[in-house]
Amino acid sequence: MKPILPVGLFDKLAAQLLVVDLLPRPVLDVAGPLLVKLKLMPEDARSATLALMAPHVREASIDFLKMAATWMLNAKRAHQRGQKVILLPFNFPGELIHAFDKARPLTSEVLSTLGVAALAGQGEEYWNVAMGLGMPDHLCSANTIELGSVLSGEDFKPDAIISSAPGGCDVNSKIHEFVAHYLGIPQFFLQKPTEDSGRGREWYGKYLRNLVAQLEEFLDEKLDENKLRAVMTKANRCTELYYELFDLHKAVPSPVPNIFSLFIYGCRFTMWGTDSAIRTMETMVRIGKDRLAHQSYPAPAELARCVWAYTSYYYDFFGFFNWMEEKGYSHLGDGLDLFFPKLIDTTNMDTMLEGIAESAWNMPMTRQVGGESMSGSWSDDVIHAVRELGADCVIYCGHHSCKQTWSVASILRSELTKQTGKPLLILQGDSWMKRMTPMSVLQDQIEEFVTNIVAKKDEKKRKIRRRQKEAE
Amino acid sequence: MIDIGFARRRDGRRGRSVENPTPFGLKPERDQGGASNAYSDIRRQDGRSVNPCRQIFFFGDWRTMMEEIKKQSGTIENDQVKKWKSGGGKTLGYTCIATPVEMVAAAGVLPYRVRALGSAETEIADAHLSRFNCSFCRSCLQLGLEGAYDFLDGMIETNGCDHLRGMIENWKYAKGFGFFHYLRVPQVVDPDAMAFFVEELGLFRRALGEFTGVPVSDQAIWEEIERHGRINDQLRQLYGIRERARPGLTGEEALQVFLVGTASPPAVFERELDRIIAARSGHEVGAYRARLLLGGSATDEVAFVHELEDVGGLVVTDMLCFGSRAFWPRKPDRSGTPEETLARIYLNNLICPRMLAEFPQRRDFIFSAVERAKVDGVVLVHNKFCDIHGVDNVQLRMALEKKGVPVLQLEKEYGAKADLGRMRTRIQAFLEQIGGAR
């Protein structure tokens, strides 16, 4: 018999987000900080709430939470409405699923992130379920936490899984394959030919069309051109807002709060192509512009402008995003923000499917380590971001499960130094679990890096310039 | 090692034992209160116990042949490679069973499978790859950067797994290859993926032709397809000898034979296999405690198999890419163009966890091997941080246990001697467990 109180990660989150969904924005605006002050929430969730309810980001946070609530509750109510829940990895463009009436998307990595941020125990109990089945401990916590909950049999069960990590990530592909077999549900694939000459891209377009046909058959629904156009038009609006935020990040000091980096790809991986994503991103742009106009920055000076090469850390929002901000370390985005979307031509079904294929091809991870050369595509993107955003350092989080990025991080470091002269800090930790490296250790390493490398590097440049001036 | 092979007869001559000083049915030493050793408590497949130290087998000049195989399989640039190179032949390295070696051989080039030979040294490689990458790949990279593979004229990369890709990228970045070709192998089989792979093979063929300066002819490819079909038949025959009720060779020997094949001209290996099969058809290895199937990650560690067998677990069959997965399912299927034929032979029969929709095929493959070789238990290994095997082994274990087949799942560091003691203990415990179950 299913327990009355939710025990699975999805069910617990859905219960929390139902409250967010029901409460009006002004109430949330007051209730959030109050909850933190009164300590009426699990201690583990306080860090995320503190970070989200910080005055300079609160409005965007509430939009983001409302969006997440819509996303989850849509999936929660899917079966009642005769719809199917399709579980996706983060590197699949969920807007395609939004265009179907009979399907609702859920993204396993986003569920894990929300669970880690908001639940007592930070989702580790679900990780333990997977380990209990004999899974190796070097799997990716980003999917294994959520999928551990699914495997426990006490949470929601997706109706199908789309796997779009083949070509980009073995861990992601394998855990989704395992879950599909374990639960006995269909798995659909979008494999990426690791070929950058144009031929691979053509094949990828074919694969995407095959996938659409398979989904149509599975859902017993023909993809409607008008519905698709409506979603793609909204996706295009999201794209415009993405580039506005990207441009705002270029200002010195950065007017974009650090946590917006997470919100941007949070939108990308959940509700891209919907009104709630547009609203969240518009709020972020507005806040960024206001702060730019007022030259607002949380610290006395911006000491370091950091691009994070791959993921950030998610088990302590406040200790990570806000701590950096208070120190004067701007988070200009991480690898998951580097998806550089293109506007989709909405002329007809064909152009739109082609546009979705292009979006999928450019999703983070697929675009970089799913490239012909893992190091080449990744280095190109990171170096591009460093140059465009005026970053003065790069930090690689070293999420221990990212074997593809770990395997070419040394090449990234070498190319970054050669091409830009910027230093790379390589950390080691698990982005979703505190049990590997505590936040305090990561903070110490970041601080030492900025103090001893980044700041001194700038100091040396200033000295050289002064000497040159004196000589003149 | 279980097969003591060439123990001397009591009359001092070499040859098949004429008498068995410890006849079948002898009570195990431990039961008699004697000290337990690696060879005590050994059970034959027919259920009778023996003392294997006294089990004597002779067969012609088998010792010389086996010593030679051991030597050649344990040397990177072995005599065959040296001979090939000194004759002006070119050699291309590859790392994965998804590489159609027939095409390479048809170009007149020696396909050479890069491996780590049980070397656990990774200091140089660790400056490029990381500690979070599988130690097999780190060991291969170490050897590559040390110059052990400098005799290779180039490298063929396949997208076998993230670690292998990283290994090749770092090798290429740090040292470069004279010739390099990236053969992309789909991870899902469907008609479009098959068509893509056919196209890839066409590009591969063209690249090989440009490398040698001579286009690769259809006839040459067909001939190599035929030859490799014969080699695969021979290997199946050899496995038949290994898997039968009274096995004719140990797992350690079978691995050594296989490894020689990955580093020899196919025509030479074909001849060698004939000799080996002839020598071992009437042979019988020593006694053992249990018949095992070994499956999992890239395992070219002869020492590891030796450890398994040293404690009494005879590896009578395997599900390794340095083993049955590389040949067992591949049957010649000549129709269409050579590329179409090779695409079908390889893609339809790629028993590897990198294939993401083919778990039922892998499950059926192991079920069939378990049944065919009448194994008492299955040992599934994966190198630390090997994701594809790490997850697949869990699925296979679950499926096997459901069928009542005992499974030992091991995570290990490649080639690490420090790991061997721990492995040995676990294997011994497993053998106790499956022994007790009978």
Write the pLDDT tens digit of every residue in B215-228.
999 999 999 999 99
Round to whole Å and give the CA distance between B289 and B124: 41
* The pLDDT of residue A472: 74
In chain B, residues 54-83 whose CB comes closer than 8 Å to chain A? none
Round to whole Å and give the CA distance between B2 and A44: 56
**A172 has a chain B CB within 8 A of its CB:** no
Model confidence band, residue A3 (pLDDT cutoffs 50, 70, 90): low
Contact B357 A408 (CB under 8 A): no
Contact B187 A173 (CB under 8 A): yes
- Asked if B91 contacts B81 with a C-beta cutoff of 8 angstroms, the reply is yes
**B162 has a chain A CB within 8 A of its CB:** yes
Model confidence band, residue B337 (pLDDT cutoffs 50, 70, 90): very high
- Asked if B322 contacts B351 with a C-beta cutoff of 8 angstroms, the reply is no
Interface test with A, best of B96, B128, B130, B364 (most A CBs within 10 A): B130
Mean per-residue pLDDT, B300-313: 94
Chain centroid offset of residue B191 CA:
30
Phi first, then psi, for residue A86 (nearest 5°) are: -105, 120
> Which of B129, B159, B409 is the closest to A134 by Cβ?
B409
Reduced to 3 states, what is the DSSP secondary structure of residue A135?
A: coil
Mean per-residue pLDDT, A113-138: 95
**B123 has a chain A CB within 8 A of its CB:** no
* The pLDDT of residue B28: 30
**B169 has a chain A CB within 8 A of its CB:** yes
Q: Is B62 exposed, middle or buried (0-12, 13-18, 19+ CB in 10 A)?
A: buried
Round the average pLDDT of chain A to a whole number and report it: 95
Contact B356 A173 (CB under 8 A): yes
What's the gap in Å between the CA of A190 and the closest CA on chain B?
9
Contact B167 A407 (CB under 8 A): yes
**A175 has a chain B CB within 8 A of its CB:** yes
Mean per-residue pLDDT, B234-241: 98
B351-397: per-residue pLDDT in tens?
999 999 999 999 999 999 999 999 999 999 999 999 999 999 999 99
Phi first, then psi, for residue B318 (nearest 5°) are: -150, 170
* The pLDDT of residue B37: 33
Round to whole Å and give the CA distance between A355 and A351: 6
Residues of B in contact with A431 (CB under 8 A): none
Give DSSP secondary structure letters for A251-278: SSS--S-TTHHHHHHHHHHHTTTSHHHH
Asked if pLDDT for residue B40 goes beyond 90, the answer is no
What is the reported pTM? Answer: 0.90
Minimum CA–CA partner of B128 in chain A: A410
Contact B184 A200 (CB under 8 A): yes
Contact A135 B193 (CB under 8 A): no
**Range with lowest mean pLDDT among A159-163, A204-208, B14-18, B88-92:** B14-18
* The pLDDT of residue B145: 97
What's the gap in Å between the CA of A319 and the closest CA on chain B?
26
* The pLDDT of residue A1: 55
- Paired tokens of A240: 């415009």
Asked if pLDDT for residue A344 goes beyond 90, the answer is yes
What's the gap in Å between the CA of A402 and the closest CA on chain B?
8
Give DSSP secondary structure letters for B284-349: ----BSEEEEEEES----HHHHHHHHHTTEEEEEEE-TTTGGGTTT------S-HHHHHHHHHHTT
A164-178: per-residue pLDDT in tens?
999 899 999 999 999
Round to whole Å and give the CA distance between A377 and A385: 12
Reduced to 3 states, what is the DSSP secondary structure of residue B377?
A: strand
Contacts of B302 (CB under 8 A, 6+ apart): B73, B74, B118, B252, B255, B256, B259
Give DSSP secondary structure letters for B147-192: TTTTT-SEEEEE---HHHHHHHHHHHHHT--SSEEEE---SS-SHH
HSE (side-chain half, CA atoms, 13 Å) at B114: 33
Q: Give the DSSP H or E segment for A161.
A: strand A160-163
Instruction: Name the percent of chain B lying above pLDDT 90.
Output: 79
Contact B397 A406 (CB under 8 A): no
CA distances from A219 to A87, A90, A226, A267, B426 (A): 14, 21, 18, 25, 48
**A408 has a chain B CB within 8 A of its CB:** yes
Contacts of A157 (CB under 8 A, 6+ apart): A150, A183, A185
Q: Give the DSSP H or E segment for B256.
A: helix B251-261
Model confidence band, residue A458 (pLDDT cutoffs 50, 70, 90): low
CA distances from A453 to A304, A439, B36, B166, B226 (A): 10, 20, 61, 28, 61
What's the gap in Å between the CA of A181 and the closest CA on chain B?
9
* The pLDDT of residue B184: 97
Round to whole Å and give the CA distance between A309 and A381: 9
- Asked if B175 contacts B167 with a C-beta cutoff of 8 angstroms, the reply is no
**A178 has a chain B CB within 8 A of its CB:** yes
**A171 has a chain B CB within 8 A of its CB:** yes
Model confidence band, residue B188 (pLDDT cutoffs 50, 70, 90): very high
Q: Is A345 exposed, middle or buried (0-12, 13-18, 19+ CB in 10 A)?
A: middle
* The pLDDT of residue B180: 98
Residues of B in contact with A171 (CB under 8 A): 162, 387
Asked if pLDDT for residue A466 goes beyond 80, the answer is no
> Which of A187, A191, A410 is the closest to B128 by Cβ?
A410
Round to whole Å and give the CA distance between B301 and B118: 5
Chain centroid offset of residue A336 CA:
5
**A132 has a chain B CB within 8 A of its CB:** no
- Paired tokens of B134: 């599988």
> Which of B162, B186, B356 is the closest to A403 by Cβ?
B162
* The pLDDT of residue A156: 92
A356-406: per-residue pLDDT in tens?
999 999 999 999 999 999 999 999 999 999 999 999 999 999 999 999 999
HSE (side-chain half, CA atoms, 13 Å) at A116: 25
Q: Between B52 and B333, where is the model more confident?
A: B333
**A33 has a chain B CB within 8 A of its CB:** no
CB atoms within 10 A of CB A49: 20
Chain centroid offset of residue A287 CA:
20
Round to whole Å and give the CA distance between A289 and A248: 7
CA dihedral (B232, B238, B244, B249) in degrees, to 10, reads -150
Question: What residues does B90 pair with on adjacent strands?
Answer: B109
> What is the DSSP pairing of strand B180-183 with strand B109-113?
unpaired
- Asked if A115 contacts A45 with a C-beta cutoff of 8 angstroms, the reply is no
What's the gap in Å between the CA of A173 and the closest CA on chain B?
7
Interface test with B, best of A131, A141, A170 (most B CBs within 10 A): A170
B49-93: per-residue pLDDT in tens?
433 333 333 334 777 888 999 999 999 999 999 999 999 999 999
Minimum CA–CA partner of B127 in chain A: A410
A24-61: per-residue pLDDT in tens?
999 999 988 888 777 777 888 889 999 999 999 999 99
CB atoms within 10 A of CB A448: 11
Round to whole Å and give the CA distance between B53 and B286: 8
Interface test with A, best of B135, B162, B169 (most A CBs within 10 A): B162
Q: Is B438 exposed, middle or buried (0-12, 13-18, 19+ CB in 10 A)?
A: exposed
CA distances from B35 to A358, A437, B20, B308, B428 (A): 69, 47, 21, 20, 16
Q: Which of B256, B260, B372 is nearest to B316 (CA)?
A: B372
Q: Between B18 and B409, where is the model more confident?
A: B409
Interface test with A, best of B96, B155, B159 (most A CBs within 10 A): B159
- Asked if A137 contacts A32 with a C-beta cutoff of 8 angstroms, the reply is no
Mean per-residue pLDDT, A274-279: 98
* Dihedral over Cα of A430, A434, A438, A444: its sign: positive
Round to whole Å and give the CA distance between B250 and B52: 13
Round to whole Å and give the CA distance between A158 and B213: 54
A185-204: per-residue pLDDT in tens?
999 999 999 999 999 999 99
Q: Which of B413, B285, B239 is nearest to B1 (CA)?
A: B285
Q: Which of B301, B326, B96, B355 is nearest to B231 (CA)?
A: B326
Count the helices and strands in chain B (H runs, E runs): 15, 10
* The pLDDT of residue A183: 96
Give DSSP secondary structure letters for B57-95: ---TTHHHHHHHHHHHHT-SS-HHHHHHHHTT-EEEEE-
ipTM: 0.94
Round to whole Å and give the CA distance between A137 and B277: 43
Model confidence band, residue B48 (pLDDT cutoffs 50, 70, 90): very low
Round the average pLDDT of chain B to a whole number and report it: 86
A-B C-beta contacts closer than 8 Å: 136
Contact A404 B166 (CB under 8 A): yes
**Range with lowest mean pLDDT among A131-135, B324-328, B415-419:** B415-419
What's the gap in Å between the CA of B46 and the closest CA on chain A?
34
**B267 has a chain A CB within 8 A of its CB:** no
Contact B391 A174 (CB under 8 A): yes
Q: Which of A383, A410, A399, A391 is nearest to A450 (CA)?
A: A391
Phi-psi region of A425 (alpha: psi -120 to 50; beta: other; left: phi over 0): beta
